[in-house]
Amino acid sequence: MSASQTTPGIVAGRLPPEAYCENFADVIPPLGAHEAVVASDRCYFCHDAPCITACPTSIDIPLFIRQIQTGNPEGAAKTILSQNILGGMCARVCPTETLCEEACVREAAEGKPVEIGRLQRYATDTLMAAGVHPFTRAAPTGKRVAVVGAGPAGLACAHRLAMHGHDVVILDARPKAGGLNEYGIASYKAPGGFAQAELDWLLMIGGITVQTGRALGRDVTLDALAADHDAVFLGMGLAGVNALGAPGDDKDGVRAAVDFIADLRQAADLATLPVGRNVVVIGGGMTAIDAAVQSKLLGAETVTIVYRRGQEAMSASRYEQEHATANGVRIVCNARPVAVHGNGTVREVEFEYTRTGAKGLEGTGETFRLPADQVFRAIGQKLDGAPSGLDLSGGKIAVTGPGRTSRPGVWAGGDCAAGGEDLTVTAVAEGRDAAMDIHAHLTGGAG
Amino acid sequence: MANLATNFVGIKSPNPFWLASAPPTDKAYNVVRAFKAGWGGVVWKTLGIDPPIVNVNGPRYGAVWGADRRLLGLNNIELITDRPLDVNLAEIKQVKRDWPDRAMVVSLMVPCDEDSWKYILKRVEETEADGVELNFGCPHGMSERGMGSAVGQVPEYIEMVARWCKAHTRMPVIVKLTPNITDIRYPARAAHKGGADAVSLINTVSSITSVNLDTFSPEPSIDGKGSHGGYCGPAVKPIALNMVAEIARDAETRGLPISGIGGVTTWRDAAEFIALGAGTVQVCTAAMTYGFKIVQEMITGLSDWMDKQGHADIDAFRGRAVPNVTDWQYLNLDFVTKARIDQDACIKCGRCYAACEDTSHQAIAMKPGRVFEVIDAECVACNLCVNVCPVDNCITMERLPAGAVDPRTGRTVTGTYANWTTHPNNPSAKAAE
């Protein structure tokens, strides 16, 4: 082994080969059949259950858990998937600690909620392992809908439309479909090629054609899509990455965290993926956590997340923060980058401490420097190249109701649309609801 | 420290915990292990007339499980001992000799003729066992041959056999009763009339634990077929408690010694049977589930509780609950309670609301913020909300004091005992004196 954790610069193979397999295994192992029955028995089957309200896709959680408890995991999966067709991925990536499990009455009672996420995974894994697709496509309507973006919003929209008999074409700019499920989730949350397996399973509904490598604005225009289809759904996510805005942020070694995460997801052999000795991640969301933890798991010696506000303001959940610190990531709060130093290549990042003043966040004047071979920007993504003619809101596509844009016949959902949290599960809900609205319009059921 | 020793119809044991006649007491090996673990006595697995019976060679037990596969009920189709009579008798004699301070009772089941009983009683006497228990209870297999519960279901047979046994042995005779009857008092009275020294109950309840939905065979399945078995374990305890209480408070059988059986799993279960009049308890399923060591929990639990309560010995609390078992018609209708929800303890699951709204009296309001409150004007105090609430003591029943008006009925609580026998709605009511 030539490289180690202390090798300077950005290099691959810092760890012994077997370490990668261990580090990137399922972060939360699946429940066995008996474990699932025991875990499901803890559900109280609450009246008007708070967990359902907390779920952006409103899955009937007490019902599916009771179905598991009574030995019907496939039925449980159908309950889940009828509300959330990507229930398998959401079971893995949802921040359940801030959604259903936070609302669980057992969380209030004993600080130990029903393991809803793991139970959902047990049910959906059982169904998918059986190769069963529990939904059937309605008779073809002859209507054609274009869906831009094969991520969670687009896939949820496409599946629901296909189920109602419409023909759907999904366009995606990347070489593979799946969106953030394929390119943007930490590897240890969905190992084993799950994103593609779930995609293949989803497409079993029929009536959906996927065209990869086709980007809106580059390969096709919205006008053309609208002209050729009865409706268009935009779910292309946020391709742009915010810049640091600090001098030197174009030096070598500074890059977008999302690109690093995507490389990691696509790497056939993680031992070949270079990572810095001293890694600095700037940001306070899930992307920052995922980039930081995976840097550490790839063998970085030190990894520091620097966030400009207090820890309580981080959008990453407390659970995720603890996951990071448990993996050896240091979190520094109340500091903002003011300069990236280095001779062509980053060597240090200079930060200034912050405080909340009368006019909001302000620098204290005190600065410090962190050594860095590699800097990841994780301070948010933005919508690049929104199709002209659509109203925007806060830099995203403005929508009303179930994803209606300002242009008739065009809907939008997921991260590219304004409103809602930027979560997989929220994207699924928006795609699904837009599909139902499109369906109503195409069949004359809505005004 | 409390004295747990018992003297049950002259049979002494250091504690009231006996192993019931069942697979755990089929051989000296098991019984010696039980005595080493601390069991106060055993009822040796039922002996019959040679040649020994045979058992099925497939599964003998079926089960009902709760959460985490906790065994709640066990069902068996095992018959009486399948070992030769002489082998059992020799072992009984040796074990009694080695463990003189433990109770050694021998369970018996032979055909319904006097000579058979006379013969086997003499053979058992030779072992110097402390007593015999007549197995009139097993509901499976032997009952098809006119024994077990086939006898226990006919009071006249019980009386007849009990009388034979008392005539042919000096040993105390305990009659083991089957619960598979409509009124337990009749077989108990018959045993008493026949001169039995005591009754023991309950034997197992006829049952099918489940049906295999792939093969459509009842469980346990023997080559695709099943036969009803005898159900026991925690699930049958309430049935047993009631039957013990019925015998304890019946005018004709009051004072008849009872060995309580049926789902005894913890010291608390045992204490409940004893409070309803039992002089000893017999255990099987708990031992079969957890091994003989559980008796140590039973002994220490009972002893600690008795110390705390100031009960010096078993007789100090035995039967104390019997006077409180009464007929419905004598329950106090002036006892008016209302459910009270402790809002600090409430975890807002809403089960009380669902139960009351859907299946009861619409007496719980669900308010904004998932606050659940009792509507006194609707609450009949049925207790269902208490029973379905997952939090202990979150919902309680609070008695309305004398002088208070029940908003449901508009009546004032009088503070005076009043029951159905004098209620104006009762066509047979007698005028209140």
Of B34, B36, B7, B5, nearest in space to B21 by CA: B34
- Residue B105 tokens read as 């009772």
A129 touches B: beta carbon within 8 Å: no
What lies within 8 Å, CB to CB, of A20 at 6+ separation is A269, A270, A271, A297, A298
B351 touches A: beta carbon within 8 Å: yes
Residues of B in contact with A49 (CB under 8 A): 350
Under DSSP, is residue A256 helix (H, G, I), strand (E, B) or coil?
strand
CA distance A118 to A32: 10
Q: Where in chain A is the domain with CATH 1.10.1060.10?
A: 33-129
Which amino acid would we find at residue A117?
Answer: G
Does residue A123 come out as left (phi exceeding 0), alpha (psi in the -120 to 50 range) or beta? alpha
CATH topology of domain A144-239+383-443: FAD/NAD(P)-binding domain (3.50.50)
B350 touches A: beta carbon within 8 Å: yes
Strands B17-19 and B278-283: parallel
Under DSSP, is residue A351 helix (H, G, I), strand (E, B) or coil?
strand
The torsion of the CA quartet A227, A233, A237, A243, rounded to 10 degrees, works out to 50
- Residue B433 tokens read as 């004196």
- pLDDT reported for residue A2: 77
What's the burial of B83, exposed, middle or buried (CB within 10 Å: 0-12/13-18/19+)?
Answer: middle
Of A232, A56, A55, A239, nearest in space to A157 by CA: A232
Of A377, A369, A373, A375, nearest in space to A350 by CA: A369
Q: What is the DSSP letter of B430?
A: P
CA distances from B39 to A94, A391, B267 (A): 54, 83, 13
Beta strands in A1-143 (DSSP E): 10-11
Q: What are the contacts of B255-258 at 24+ separation with CB within 8 A? A: B256/B188, B256/B191, B256/B192, B256/B196, B256/B198, B256/B199, B257/B8, B257/B9, B257/B197, B257/B198, B257/B199, B258/B198, B258/B199, B258/B200, B258/B201
Percent of chain A as helix, strand, coil, to the nearest 5: 40, 20, 40
Residue A163 has pLDDT above 60, yes or no: yes
Nearest CA to CA, how far is A177 from chain B (Å)? 41
pLDDT band at B431, cuts 50/70/90?
low
Q: Which of B68, B69, B351 sits opposite A46 (nearest CB)?
A: B351
Q: Which listed residue (B112, B138, B349, B382) is catalytic?
A: B138
User: Which of A63, A69, A105, A114 best probes binding to B when mutated, by most B CB atoms within 10 angstroms?
Assistant: A105
- pLDDT reported for residue B138: 87
Residue A1 has pLDDT above 60, yes or no: no
Q: Say if the Cβ atoms of B347 and A106 lie within 8 Å.
A: yes
Q: Say if the Cβ atoms of A50 and B370 lie within 8 Å.
A: yes
pLDDT, tens only, A289-303: 999 999 999 999 999
Residues B342-350 have a mean pLDDT of 97
Mean of all residue pLDDT scores within chain A = 95
- pLDDT reported for residue B139: 87
CA distances from A380 to A57, A284, A353, A422, B222 (A): 24, 9, 20, 11, 66
pLDDT, tens only, A178-213: 999 999 999 999 999 999 999 999 999 999 999 999
CA distances from A224 to A216, B5, B92 (A): 10, 94, 96
Among residues of chain B, what percentage have pLDDT more than 70?
Answer: 99
Q: Which of B69, B350, B391 sits opposite A46 (nearest CB)?
A: B350
User: Which of B347, B362, B366, B367 best probes binding to A when mutated, by most A CB atoms within 10 angstroms?
Assistant: B347
Q: Say if the Cβ atoms of B348 and A106 lie within 8 Å.
A: no
A:B CB pairs within 8 Å: 36
Residues B34-48 have a mean pLDDT of 98
Does residue A272 come out as left (phi exceeding 0), alpha (psi in the -120 to 50 range) or beta? alpha
- Residue A231 tokens read as 């409706």
Q: Is CATH 3.50.50.60 the classification given to domain A3-25+241-377?
A: yes
Q: Say if the Cβ atoms of A105 and B69 lie within 8 Å.
A: no
Q: Say if the Cβ atoms of B390 and A44 lie within 8 Å.
A: yes
B370 touches A: beta carbon within 8 Å: yes
CA distance B167 to B176: 18
Residue B433 has pLDDT above 60, yes or no: no
pLDDT, tens only, B353-375: 999 999 999 999 999 999 999 99
Active site residue B138: yes
Q: Give the ipTM.
A: 0.88
pLDDT, tens only, A205-258: 999 999 999 999 999 999 999 999 999 999 999 999 999 989 999 999 999 999
- pLDDT reported for residue B432: 52
Of B248, B195, B325, B275, nearest in space to B16 by CA: B275
Percent of chain B as helix, strand, coil, to the nearest 5: 35, 20, 45
Under DSSP, is residue A237 helix (H, G, I), strand (E, B) or coil?
coil
CA distance B224 to B217: 5
What lies within 8 Å, CB to CB, of A329 at 6+ separation is A289, A292, A293, A296, A303, A304, A305
Residues B46-50 have a mean pLDDT of 96
Residues B166-181 have a mean pLDDT of 97
What's the burial of B293, exposed, middle or buried (CB within 10 Å: 0-12/13-18/19+)?
Answer: exposed
- pLDDT reported for residue B373: 98
pLDDT, tens only, A351-392: 999 999 999 999 999 999 999 999 999 999 999 888 989 999
pLDDT band at B228, cuts 50/70/90?
very high
Tell me the residues of chain A between 14 and 53 that have a Cβ less than 8 Å away from chain B: 34, 37-38, 41, 44-50
Q: Where in chain A is the domain with CATH 3.50.50.60?
A: 3-25+241-377, 144-239+383-443
User: Which of A46, A47, A66 best probes binding to B when mutated, by most B CB atoms within 10 angstroms?
Assistant: A47
Mean of all residue pLDDT scores within chain B = 96
Q: Say if the Cβ atoms of A47 and B366 lie within 8 Å.
A: yes
Q: Which of B68, B348, B351 sits opposite A108 (nearest CB)?
A: B348
The CATH number assigned to the domain with range A33-129 reads: 1.10.1060.10
Residue B264 has pLDDT above 90, yes or no: yes
Nearest CA to CA, how far is A105 from chain B (Å)? 6
Q: Say if the Cβ atoms of B67 and A38 lie within 8 Å.
A: yes
- Residue B253 tokens read as 């059988």
Q: Say if the Cβ atoms of A47 and B69 lie within 8 Å.
A: no
Residue of A nearest to B350 (CA): A47
- The b-or-e profile of A105-133 (16+ CB within 10 A means b, else e) is bbbebeeebbbbbbbbbbbbbbbbeeeeb
- pLDDT reported for residue A444: 85
pLDDT, tens only, A29-74: 999 999 999 999 999 999 999 999 999 999 999 999 999 999 999 9
Nearest CA to CA, how far is B11 from chain A (Å)? 45
Residues B66-92 have a mean pLDDT of 95
Residue A447 has pLDDT above 50, yes or no: no
Residue of B nearest to A107 (CA): B347
